[in-house]
Structure 1
Amino acid sequence: MKHRKRAGLILILLTALFTVVANPLLPGYYADPTIKKFGDTYYIYATTDGIKLASGEPSVWVSKDLKDWVNVEMEMSLPDGLTNCWAPDVLEGKDGRYYYYMGNCQYGCNIYGYVSNTPVGPWVPLNEGKPVIPVGTGKEYLPALDAQFFQDDDGSLYAFFGTWCTSFGGMGWVKINSDDMFTIEKEGFIPISQIPRAFEAAYMMKKNGTYILMYSAGDCKLDSYAVHYAYSDKPTGPFTYGENNPILSSDGALVDGPGHHSVLEDNGNYYIVYHRHDNPHSTGGMFRQTCVDKLTFINDHTIAKVEPTEDGLCALGVKSLGPENLALGAKAEATSYYHLKTRGSRFTGNKAVDYAYSPSNATDGSNNTLWKADGCELPQSLTIDLGKTKSFDRILTDFEYPSHFYQYKTEISKDGKSWSVYADKTNNKVSGSPVIDEKKAKARYIRITVTGVEKPGLYAGIWNVAVTKGKINLPEYQQMVSNADKASQPTGECLVDISFKDQKSGQLTDEAVPNTGTLGGKITGRGNVTIQNIDGVMAAVFDGKSSLRLASVPPESMAWNAPFTAAIWVKNSEIGHGECLLSWTSRRDMLQASYAAMYYGTGNYGAVAHGDGAVDMSYSKVPEADKWHHIAVTFDGMTESIYVDGKLNNKAQLMLFVTPAEIRIGSSGNPDENFSGSISRIRLYNKSMTEAEIKGLLSETNPFTNAQPN
Structure 2
Amino acid sequence: MKLIHLLTSLFFCTTISLAQSPQLNIAKPKPFKQKTFCNPMDINYQYNWEQTNEKISYRSGADPVIITHKNEYYLFHTIQGGYWKSKDLLNWHYIIPNRWPMEDMCAPAAISVRDTLYLFQSTFQQRPIFYTTTPENGKLHFYNRWLPQLPKDIGPWDPALFHDDATDRWFMYWGSSNVYPLFGAELDKSKNLTYKGKNDYKGLIYLHPEKHGWERFGRDHRDTIKPFTEGAWMTKHNGKYYLQYGAPGTEFNVYANGTYVGDDPLGPFTYAPYNPVSYKPGGFMTGMGHGNTFQDLYGNYWNTGTPWIAVNWNFERRIEMVPAGFDKDGQMYANTRFADFPQLLPTKKWTDKNELFAGLMLLSYKKPCTSSSVQEGKFSANLVTDENPRTFWVAKTNKSGETLTIDLEKTQEVHSLQINYTDYKSDIYDSALPKVYIQYRVYSSIDGKAWIKIVDNTNEKRDRPNAYEELAKPVKVRYIKFENVHVPMPNLAISDIRIFGKGTGKAPVIPQGLTVTRQTDDRNADISWQKVPEAVGYNILWGIAPDKLYQTYQIWNDAPSNLELRALTVGQKYYFAIEAFNENGVSAVSEVIGPK
Q: TM-score under structure 1 normalisation?
A: 0.45
- Contact 1:249–1:258 under 8 Å retained in 2: yes
Which residue does the alignment assign to 1:127?
A: 142
Alpha-carbon distance in structure 2 between the residues aligned to 1:320 and 1:169: 36
Alpha-carbon distance in structure 1 between the residues aligned to 2:31 and 2:108: 22
Q: CA deviation at 1:419?
A: 6.9
Q: CA deviation at 1:284?
A: 0.9
- Contact 1:147–1:159 under 8 Å retained in 2: no
Q: CA deviation at 1:99?
A: 3.8
Match of 1:459, as an amino acid?
A: A
Matched, 1:453 2:487: yes
Matched, 1:186 2:196: yes
| Cα distance change on mapping 1:93 and 1:269 into 2, 3 Å | closer
Q: CA deviation at 1:411?
A: 6.3
Q: CA deviation at 1:232?
A: 3.1
Q: CA deviation at 1:74?
A: 2.0
- Contact 1:35–1:45 under 8 Å retained in 2: yes
- Contact 1:381–1:447 under 8 Å retained in 2: yes
Paired residue for 1:335, among 359, 372, 382?
A: 372
- Contact 1:116–1:122 under 8 Å retained in 2: no
Paired residue for 1:74, among 92, 95, 117?
A: 95
Of Structure 1 and Structure 2, the greater strand share is in: 1
1:13-52 aligned within 5 A: 16-20=34-38, 24=40, 30-38=61-69, 43=73, 45-47=75-77
| Cα distance change on mapping 1:210 and 1:290 into 2, 3 Å | same
Matched, 1:381 2:418: no
Match of 1:186, as an amino acid?
A: K
1:625-668 deviation digits (Å, cap 9, x = unpaired): xxxxxxxxxxxxxxxxxxxxxxxxxxxxxxxxxxxxxxxxxxxx
Which residue does the alignment assign to 1:60?
A: 84
Alpha-carbon distance in structure 2 between the residues aligned to 1:219 and 1:356: 32
- Contact 1:109–1:144 under 8 Å retained in 2: no
Which residue does the alignment assign to 1:598?
A: none
Q: CA deviation at 1:203?
A: 0.9
| Cα distance change on mapping 1:391 and 1:241 into 2, 3 Å | closer
Match of 2:97, as an amino acid?
A: M
- Contact 1:226–1:246 under 8 Å retained in 2: yes
| Cα distance change on mapping 1:81 and 1:230 into 2, 3 Å | closer
- Contact 1:338–1:358 under 8 Å retained in 2: no
Which residue does the alignment assign to 1:148?
A: 160
1:310-389 aligned within 5 A: 310-311=338-339, 316-319=353-356, 333-336=370-373, 358-360=383-385, 372-374=393-395, 377-379=398-400, 380-383=402-405
| Cα distance change on mapping 1:173 and 1:104 into 2, 3 Å | same
1:627-666 aligned within 5 A: none
1:16-46 deviation digits (Å, cap 9, x = unpaired): 43433xx6566875332323345665x3624
Which residue does the alignment assign to 2:463?
A: 431
Give 3-state SS (helix, strand or coil) of 2:265's partner.
coil
Match of 2:196, as an amino acid?
A: K
Which residue does the alignment assign to 2:130?
A: 113
Which residue does the alignment assign to 1:229?
A: 259
Alpha-carbon distance in structure 1 between the residues aligned to 2:317 and 2:382: 16
Paired residue for 2:237, among 185, 188, 207?
A: 207
| Cα distance change on mapping 1:104 and 1:464 into 2, 3 Å | farther
Q: Percent identity?
A: 20
- Contact 1:337–1:357 under 8 Å retained in 2: no
- Contact 2:81–2:96 under 8 Å retained in 1: no
Alpha-carbon distance in structure 2 between the residues aligned to 1:398 and 1:126: 39
Matched, 1:87 2:107: yes
Q: CA RMSD in A?
A: 5.4
1:248-259 aligned within 5 A: 248=278, 251=281, 257-259=287-289
Alpha-carbon distance in structure 1 between the residues aligned to 2:253 and 2:362: 37
| Cα distance change on mapping 1:25 and 1:40 into 2, 3 Å | same
Match of 1:358, as an amino acid?
A: L
Alpha-carbon distance in structure 1 between the residues aligned to 2:437 and 2:302: 32
- Contact 2:371–2:381 under 8 Å retained in 1: no
| Cα distance change on mapping 1:401 and 1:304 into 2, 3 Å | same
Which residue does the alignment assign to 2:522?
A: none
1:161-194 deviation digits (Å, cap 9, x = unpaired): 333355445514342649x9x6426356553365
- Contact 1:195–1:230 under 8 Å retained in 2: no
Alpha-carbon distance in structure 1 between the residues aligned to 2:443 and 2:146: 51
1:229-281 deviation digits (Å, cap 9, x = unpaired): 33333223344444445545575888855421322356676443323324x88
Alpha-carbon distance in structure 2 between the residues aligned to 1:306 and 1:97: 28
Q: Please list every run of 5 or more consecutive structure 2 residues that lacks an aligned counterpart in the other structure.
A: 1-29, 46-59, 209-227, 345-351, 424-430, 503-596
Q: CA deviation at 1:76?
A: 1.9
Alpha-carbon distance in structure 1 between the residues aligned to 2:468 and 2:40: 19
Give 3-state SS (helix, strand or coil) of 1:358's partner.
helix
Q: CA deviation at 1:321?
A: 6.5
Q: TM-score under structure 2 normalisation?
A: 0.52
1:268-307 aligned within 5 A: 270-278=301-309, 284-292=314-322, 294-296=324-326, 299-300=329-330, 303=331
Alpha-carbon distance in structure 1 between the residues aligned to 2:121 and 2:101: 16
Q: CA deviation at 1:60?
A: 3.1
Which residue does the alignment assign to 2:290?
A: 260
Which residue does the alignment assign to 2:122?
A: 103
Match of 1:381, as an amino acid?
A: T
Alpha-carbon distance in structure 2 between the residues aligned to 1:456 and 1:419: 29
Match of 2:132, as an amino acid?
A: V
Match of 1:273, as an amino acid?
A: T
1:20-79 deviation digits (Å, cap 9, x = unpaired): 3xx6566875332323345665x36242xxxxxx53454437463x6xx23432222345
- Contact 2:362–2:499 under 8 Å retained in 1: no
| Cα distance change on mapping 1:359 and 1:205 into 2, 3 Å | closer
Alpha-carbon distance in structure 2 between the residues aligned to 1:103 and 1:13: 42
| Cα distance change on mapping 1:286 and 1:461 into 2, 3 Å | closer
| Cα distance change on mapping 1:86 and 1:316 into 2, 3 Å | same
| Cα distance change on mapping 1:204 and 1:195 into 2, 3 Å | farther
- Contact 1:297–1:304 under 8 Å retained in 2: yes
Alpha-carbon distance in structure 2 between the residues aligned to 1:221 and 1:13: 41
- Contact 2:403–2:484 under 8 Å retained in 1: yes
1:476-502 deviation digits (Å, cap 9, x = unpaired): xxxxxxxxxxxxxxxxxxxxxxxxxxx
Alpha-carbon distance in structure 2 between the residues aligned to 1:413 and 1:250: 35
1:212-237 deviation digits (Å, cap 9, x = unpaired): 22222433234674434333332233
1:451-499 deviation digits (Å, cap 9, x = unpaired): 432344463566557899xxxxxxxxxxxxxxxxxxxxxxxxxxxxxxx
Q: CA deviation at 1:127?
A: 1.0
- Contact 1:177–1:185 under 8 Å retained in 2: no
- Contact 1:146–1:201 under 8 Å retained in 2: yes
Matched, 1:400 2:421: yes
- Contact 2:160–2:174 under 8 Å retained in 1: no
- Contact 1:99–1:115 under 8 Å retained in 2: yes
Alpha-carbon distance in structure 2 between the residues aligned to 1:391 and 1:309: 23
